Amino acid sequence: MSSLGNRFNKLTGKNRFVVSRIFIHLAGDEVAPLLGVLNQTAQNALESEGDLGVLGEGLVSICQKLLEMSIYWRSAANEGDVFWKEEEAGDYITELFTDSAQRYLSEPEFDSFTSEENVPLSLPMTRNVVVMIIVAFKGEAPELETSLDDRLALEKGLKALINLNYQGILEAIQVHFSPARLGDELTNDQLLLNFSELISL
């Protein structure tokens, strides 16, 4: 959208909605435990029936964990758009959500979690994890409305997500991750095939 259009919509009092999706790929022998944090926040979100406050707390936990694990960041990507109509923003969120949910091994299956006595003593540990974060908010966040394909920009973007939650202006939060369960493995070939937009950091 042109800056002239931007200014016109501000003058007419229209709300500016931003929808953003961030991909972060982590790799290494120590990345699998991240799945524990991701699955716990997913379980909390499910139990809260999508309560935005609970989703926000989960988003903060995930962003903080990702920042702590920055040594394992390997590649990233982001996309998004600006809307002046809430319905159009909602349609775009649905489109991104559907795409993220269909990514390789990105759907947790809570019903299939078994009791500890049925879990094998050793599970294969994936060396690759991709986290996909979708948010929508009113207003502006320059840290998220730019390319996040370098480490400093990605760090600023994650911190901006935390701040947006504390400011209480997030309208929607969705997180997917691949693989979604311990024991599933995302190989390098599968990573290239299913997450071709990733850019090396």
For the chain, the first-to-last Cα distance in angstroms comes to 28
Q: What is the pLDDT of residues 26-62, one digit of tens each?
A: 999 888 888 888 999 999 988 998 899 999 999 999 9
Name the band, by pLDDT with cuts 50, 70 and 90, for residue 184.
confident
Q: Is the peptide bond before 33 cis (omega within 30 degrees of 0)?
A: no
Q: Angle between the 34-47 and 52-68 helix axes, to the nearest 10 degrees?
A: 180
Residue with tokens 């390319």: 147
Q: What percent of the chain has pLDDT over 70?
A: 85
| pTM of the predicted model as reported, rounded to 2 decimal places | 0.87
More confident residue, 84 or 120: 84
The DSSP symbol for 175 reads: E
Q: How many CB atoms lie within 10 A of CB 28?
A: 14
Q: What is the mean pLDDT of residues 153-164?
A: 97
